[in-house]
Structure 1
Amino acid sequence: MHIDIAGLPADRVVFATSPLAELGLALHALSEPGHHPGLHGWATATSAALEPDLADRMLEAEFLWRNTFSDVFMPFAGVRGGDGRTGATLAEDLDLLDRLDDERFVGAALEFTCASHYEIDAPSPLKDAGTRGRALDLAAARGPQQLDFTRRLLADPASVRGWVRRLFEDCDQAFFADTWRRVSVQMAADARHKTELLRRKGLADAMGSVSPAVTLDESGARISVDKLSEARTTATDPEVGQGLTLVPTSFGWPHLMVLHAPGWRPVIHYPVQLPNLPVPASVELLQLRMEALAHPMRMRLCRNLARSPYTTGELADAHGVTSPEVSRHLTVLKKAGLVTTRRRGRYVLHQLDLTVVARLGSDFLEGVLR
Structure 2
Amino acid sequence: MSVTIDITGLPDERLLFTPSPLGELTAMLDVLAEPAHHPALHGWASSTAATIPPELSERLLEADFLWRSSRADFLVPGLPGATLAAELDAVDRMDDELYVAAALASTCGSARPARRAPSPLTDPVANERARELALARGPRQAAFADRLLADPPAVRALVRRMLEDCESAFFADAWQRVLPALAADARRKADLLARRGPAEALAAVSPSVALDQSADGRRRIVIDKLQDNATSGTEGGGVTLIPTAFGRPHLVVVYTPGWRPVLQYPVAEAGIPEPVSLALVQQRLEALAHPVRLRLARTMARGAHTTGELASAWQLSAPEVSRHLTVLRKAGLLITQRRGRYMLYQLDLSGSARLGSDFLEALLR
Task: Give the TM-score range, shorter chain.
Answer: 0.7 to 0.9
Give the equivalent residue in structure 2 for 1:263: 258
**Number of aligned residues:** 282
AA matched with 1:5: I
Find out whether 1:29 has 2:27 as its counterpart: no
Give the equivalent residue in structure 1 for 2:186: 191
Superposition TM-score, scaled by structure 2 size: 0.73
The 2-side partners of 1:216 and 1:191 are apart by 18
CA-atom RMSD, angstroms?
Answer: 2.0
The 2-side partners of 1:114 and 1:252 are apart by 19
Contact 1:114/1:135, CA 8 A, preserved across alignment: no
1:118 offset after TM fit, Å? Answer: 3.2
1:57 offset after TM fit, Å? Answer: 0.4
The 2-side partners of 1:141 and 1:207 are apart by 37
1:72 offset after TM fit, Å? Answer: 2.2
1:101 offset after TM fit, Å? Answer: 1.1
AA matched with 1:228: L
Find out whether 1:55 has 2:57 as its counterpart: yes
Match of 1:95 among 73, 89, 102: 89
Give secondary structure in 2 for the equivalent of 1:3: strand
Superposition TM-score, scaled by structure 1 size: 0.72
Give the equivalent residue in structure 1 for 2:226: 228
Find out whether 1:209 has 2:199 as its counterpart: no
Give secondary structure in 2 for the equivalent of 1:223: strand
1:42 offset after TM fit, Å? Answer: 0.4
1:135-174 equivalence runs, <5 A: 135-174=130-169
AA matched with 2:91: L
The 1-side partners of 2:152 and 2:197 are apart by 43
Find out whether 1:38 has 2:40 as its counterpart: yes
1:99 offset after TM fit, Å? Answer: 1.2
Describe the superposition over 1:100-155 as per-residue Cα deviations: whole angstroms up to 9, x where unpaired.
Answer: 11111101110238856634432110011011111112211222211111011001
Match of 1:362 among 331, 335, 357: 357
Give the equivalent residue in structure 2 for 1:175: 170
The structure-2 alpha-carbon separation of the partners of 1:195 and 1:172, relative to structure 1 and needing over 3 Å to count, comes to same
Give secondary structure in 1 for the equivalent of 2:80: coil
Larger Rg: 2
Give the equivalent residue in structure 1 for 2:99: 105
Give the equivalent residue in structure 1 for 2:9: 7
User: Structure 1: any 5+ residue segments left out of the alignment?
Assistant: 78-84, 278-289, 295-357
1:218 offset after TM fit, Å? Answer: 3.2
Give the equivalent residue in structure 1 for 2:246: 251
Contact 1:113/1:135, CA 8 A, preserved across alignment: no
The 2-side partners of 1:149 and 1:113 are apart by 19
Contact 2:17/2:240, CA 8 A, preserved across alignment: yes
AA matched with 2:39: P
1:222 offset after TM fit, Å? Answer: 1.0
AA matched with 1:145: R
AA matched with 2:58: D
Give secondary structure in 2 for the equivalent of 1:111: coil
